[in-house]
Amino acid sequence: MIKHHPSFELIQSFVNGDLPASLSAGIAIHADMCPKCQQIISQLTEQVAENSFEETFLDRFIVDDMSDFDDNNMSNNDLKFTDMIDNITSSEEIAVAKTKVEKTINFREKTYQLPSALHSMKLGKTAQIGKLSRARVQLDEGEIHTTLLHISPGGGVPEHTHKGFELTVLLDGSFHDEQGEYVKGDFIMLDSSHQHHPISIQGCLCYTVANDALHFTQGINKLLNPIGAFIY
């Protein structure tokens, strides 16, 4: 059962459209698998929509300068809007409902279904190190890196921390760390105060978003720090 969910603040920013594409997709993927969050999102969207459109706008648009008005008492903006209406309604074009397509991705000879939130995103080539494989999701969001990370059975990521945040959404399989077991659909948001050492016994596929390279914290693994940038 899914135990880890996005915070309410995160869902709020998601509904408002204020999050970067990487995090928005992370929440959408989670919500696809989590009826509870899906419901919160639907209710919040309805509420935000209602609030956005119910306020009277007149107080903000009080006309105090009549000089721009012509005899018909129409403002420039009105004329612009009238043009816009004519322009829009002159189009005969009708949108066709998107049919649901399925897209898949392969890691180590295993085929996974690609979450629909990622369908239009460009994926880089798969690269491998040991039991880890990753494909970058090319979103061009500066320091934020988004990745599909595959861990083969028995693989793991050495104990590490992050200077920034690290989001993991488990797309398939399971893994565990010091905090417990994670299953398909879990939405795990960590920051620099967390250290962990995820291990996947059966193998898993994760969608990860991080805004800095990971930083290995223990003994000999510190030698791995140069590859921290590889993984996330």
Partner 1 sequence: MQTNLLSNVTSAKSTLMTDKIDHPQLCQWLDDVATTRDKKAFTQLFQFFAPKIQRIAYGKFQNETQACEVVQETMSNVWRKAHLFDASKGAATTWVYTVMRNVTFDMLRKIKGNREDNLSDDIWPLAEQSISNEECFDDHLENSQLLSVIDTLPEAQKQIVKGFYFMEMSQEQLATHLNLPLGTIKSRLRLALAKLKVQLGDNND
Q: Is 28 in the site for partner 1 (CB under 8 A)?
A: yes
User: Within 13 Å and on the Cβ side, how many CA atoms surround 54?
Assistant: 6
Closest CA to 68 of 58, 80, 76: 76
Among 12, 38, 126, 217, binds partner 1 (CB under 8 A): 38
The angle formed by the CA atoms of residues 146, 219 and 192, to the nearest 5 degrees, is 40
Per the DSSP assignment, residues forming a β-bridge with 204 are 151, 173
75 counts as binding partner 1 under rule CB under 8 A? yes
102 membership: H or E segment, kind and range: none
**Which CB, 8 or 69, lies closer to partner 1?**
69
Residue with smaller CB distance to partner 1, 117 or 210: 117
Nearer to partner 1, 30 or 196 (CB): 30
Minimum distance of partner 1 from residue 22's CB (angstroms):
10
Question: Does residue 45 contact residue 15 with C-beta atoms inside 8 Å?
Answer: yes
Closest CA to 183 of 202, 167, 197, 165: 202
Interface with partner 1 (CB under 8 A): 15-17, 21, 24-25, 28, 35, 38-39, 42, 45-46, 48-50, 52-58, 60-61, 63, 65, 68-69, 72-78, 80-82, 84-85, 87-89, 91, 93-95, 97-98, 116-122, 139-141
